[in-house]
Chains A and B, each alone.
Chain A
Amino acid sequence: MSALEKAYYSPVGRKVASKAGLHEPPRLRRGREWPQGRIVLAPLGASSLVADALALLGREHDAPVVDSGTDAPGYGDRIGALVVDALDVAAVTDLEALRAVLRPAARAVERAGRIVVVARPGGAGGGWEADAVARALDGINRTVGKELRGGATATLVYAHEGVAAADLVSTLGFVLQGRSAFVDGQAWHVRPAAVTADRLDEHPLDGRVCVVTGAARGIGAAIARTLAREGAAVLAVDIPAAGEALAAVANEIGGTALQLDITADDAGARIAAHVAARGARIHAMVHNAGITRDKMLVNTDADRWASVLDVNLAAEMRINAVLLDPAVEGGMADGGRIVGIASTSGLAGNKGQTNYAASKAGVAGLVAAMAPDLAHRRITVNAVAPGFIETEMTARIPFVQREVFRRVNSLSQGGQPVDVAETIAYLCEPASQGVTGQVIRVCGQNMVGA
């Protein structure tokens, strides 16, 4: 820790920083914790889909306070979350109803509370206005995310035509619980998937084999731990040189360790062989392993270019090719999950990271391309895009720069590795069948990469 950093974190330093506007960041709610206050449901039309989903989640809900236009009414106390069923919102004039429930809630929502809007996506044949409105909701959601304080977040869920309440259970559960702590201002899609779950499962991965690469430390170790907590039998993979830390993670979670360079030609085959020896197939393949070789473009040589693209993108594609071959024993199970790691650097571009941005944006493109092709096997393919996450790697960024990176998002702090892991675990749930081809940012609504 630098002298400057020590001074900053001293009692005096904190006071000075606070006076200068750098307040102590809000404490986020994490894990399977529900909002403390009541959940308010605001149906803006005849749809009862969200009410049905909340019933499956076993959550009671109250009626909303509606802004009548005279003076701003209040809830009187804090509310835990506002969930808006906006599935019938299709005209510009319908948006007023949304404003009328958002306004009182924006003031009342508790620390680390939630505002969730469930709406129809554009492009579904509803006409020009419906598409414009669908996009308008995205603008509203992003702005609500930026205006909410105290660690509260906003999420927009696009539920496609045909989505049943059970298809929404895992998504609404994730968004309302603390597991989505660092997911803010995001919108993603849920498609009809004939999910049969009639409640939120606490151990949705029970007995399922999940493979995590780069599992020895940082985000990968958190993914392994989180998937194990959800009941998975985790195969923790990392390069042989990281074997000591890898073994510690595997033993901690009762998983198995496989020392393997994912760029090796036989990497996919060795993963499959390991799983086949256990008489199983893979439920989830989490491609977390990645490297950075940062240099400004003027200093980026072919080696830096190739190694980053190979580890972060090409190796993943080679391994997928092996595991997706139905003839390979120990390969992907039908109904399985593939999760890649993109990055806000990839989505927005980042100085000094052409190679990294190429690989991570490539991951986003890859999951979008794979998802429709694997739909017939019920294999979903998604990615998460972490923003600034507190890891050993980011701890090496110089202090002032690091503090700036932490602050430039709606939650005024860096995320924890577990925040990325929770999002991945949500995507891996069997009940998340309707979520595929998506990139979910875990970035606290970072200003960069929107």
Chain B
Amino acid sequence: MVHTVVVVGGNRIPFAKAGGPYARASNHDMLTAALDGLVARAGLAGERIGEVAGGAVLKHPNDFNLTREAVLSSALAPETPACDLQQACATGLETTMYLANKIALGQLSSGIAAGVDSASDAPITVSDPLRRILLKASRARTPQQRIAAFAKVRPAHLAPQAPRVAEPRTGLSMGEHQAVTTARWDISREAQDELAAASHHKLAAAWERGFFDDLVTPYLGTTRDAVLRPDTSVEKLAALKPAFGGPEGTMTAGNSTPLSDGAAAVLLATEEWAAEHHLTPWARIVDAEVAAVDHPGGADLLLAPVGATGRLLARQGLTVDDIDLFEIHEAFASTVLATRKAWQDADYCASLGLDGPLGAFPDHKLNVTGSSLAAGHPFAATGARIVPTLAKLLHERGPGSRGLISICAAGGQGLVAILEAV
């Protein structure tokens, strides 16, 4: 028997630029805050939730049990189990689907999907040779053996290793990869800056109308997304120097997401559980599809969601026209623009084995309350930011409204999901 899985709420802390107001907050702290805000909003203090699934992309070795530890620090019942998952920038959507699937199968009646990342508090590790020496020294039985092990330390070993936002197989940063895609799909600087400015303006308008009053809980004195620049404009963005793609590049710090800190959580449940807990279902989780492209074989690193979207729509018997709202994660403005072009490109879609191009949709259906360019993008948290945002937007539009989420992820992967208002 398959149960209907509904989104009944969400909570996140305001997102912030790395090194900003959350510079001294850990993933554990931020994830706990996101959970506690959700618990307070839904009145779940002391409740045992079926399972909490969370994750972080930049994770300290000590945080091996990050989500369970955050649950124990939160107001949830300590009998609430948890697990950690990670699928790069798709983590927050993948944790949602992991729990949605379990709920659909009847294994759970409630779950909280979450994601958190701190680019401020990124783990620093030691070099591989130093690590081997330290491990050998710790296994030494005599002082002599220990001294002998340490004697092998060389100055070069001592340099700390910070995590890089780079593809291990190419050594290229995500921005450099996307610069290739930007050029290949002929995405103009103007279009990117327009999309970025629109994202800020739409997010600012949503804050102004109180849309986030029941989606965000302030944290450490920060009450709104600290990345947001309501007064930015295409003109201001046009003045920025290229950040990726060399001196002729079109990608800037203004039309690319900054490294961010933040956490987000989604409350998922069966309709029965929602009713028992007096919570209003916003939308049901319809279906999802994960995909990957041939990386580093030459495919566009961040366009994996295109194939997933095509297969998902076909499986559901839907077309782009059946979707009322699109949430395409703004890793870079050009990612969204290239994704939309790819959807309309017959040859590209055919190369993915799709029956035809997915088609176009009007701008007013895209990221209607802004997205990652304006909100920020703490990698694992983004999916868990988008799911409740879209669910609430669909609920506002009324039953039957459909929305599609498309999130690209490192390693040439992508995850796409469809929600429908109930």
A247 touches B36 (CB 8 A): yes
CB within 8 Å for A247 and B210 given contacts A255-B43, A278-B278: no
Q: Measured between C-beta atoms, what is the minimum distance from A225 to chain B in Å?
A: 13
Neighbouring B residues of A279 by C-beta, 8 Å: 278
Q: Which one of A236, A251, A255, A264 contacts B36 once the chains associate, using CB atoms below 8 Å?
A: A251
A193 adjacent to chain B (CB < 8 Å):
no
Chain B minimum-CB-distance residue to A261: B210
Q: Bound state CA distance, A261 and B287, in angstroms?
A: 37
Neighbouring B residues of A255 by C-beta, 8 Å: 40, 43, 45
A194 adjacent to chain B (CB < 8 Å):
no
A104 adjacent to chain B (CB < 8 Å):
no
CB within 8 Å for A254 and B46 given contacts A244-B33, A246-B40, A248-B36: yes
Digit string of B203-218 for contact with A (CB within 8 Å is 1, else 0)? 0000000101110111
Digit string of B114-158 for contact with A (CB within 8 Å is 1, else 0)? 000000000000000000000000000000000000000000000
Tally of B interface residues using CB under 8 Å: 24
Digit string of A240-264 for contact with B (CB within 8 Å is 1, else 0)? 1111101110111111111111001
B303 adjacent to chain A (CB < 8 Å):
no
Binding site for A on B (CB under 8 A): 33, 36-37, 39-43, 45-46, 75, 210, 212-214, 216-220, 223, 278-280
A20 adjacent to chain B (CB < 8 Å):
no
What would be 22 A-B contacts, judged by CB atoms less than 8 Å apart? A236-B40, A241-B218, A241-B223, A243-B216, A244-B218, A247-B37, A247-B39, A247-B217, A248-B40, A250-B40, A250-B45, A251-B40, A252-B75, A254-B43, A256-B40, A257-B217, A258-B41, A258-B214, A259-B41, A264-B210, A278-B278, A279-B278
A277 adjacent to chain B (CB < 8 Å):
yes
Q: Measured between C-beta atoms, what is the minimum distance from B101 to chain A in Å?
A: 27
Binding site for B on A (CB under 8 A): 236, 240-244, 246-248, 250-261, 264, 277-279
Q: Which of B42, B45, B212, B280 has the most CB of A within 10 A?
A: B45
Q: Measured between C-beta atoms, what is the minimum distance from B215 to chain A in Å?
A: 9
The 6 closest A-B pairs by CB, nearest first: A247-B40, A251-B75, A256-B43, A257-B40, A250-B40, A278-B278
15 further A-B pairs in the complex, CB-CB below 8 A; given A244-B37, A248-B40: A236-B40, A240-B212, A240-B216, A240-B218, A240-B223, A241-B223, A243-B37, A247-B37, A248-B36, A251-B75, A252-B45, A254-B45, A255-B43, A259-B41, A278-B278
Q: Bound state CA distance, A260 and B212, in angstroms?
A: 11
Chain B minimum-CB-distance residue to A246: B40
Q: Bound state CA distance, A53 and B41, in angstroms?
A: 42
A242 touches B40 (CB 8 A): no
Neighbouring B residues of A278 by C-beta, 8 Å: 278
Neighbouring B residues of A240 by C-beta, 8 Å: 210, 212-213, 216, 218, 223
Q: Bound state CA distance, A277 and B281, in angstroms?
A: 11
Q: Bound state CA distance, A258 and B219, in angstroms?
A: 16
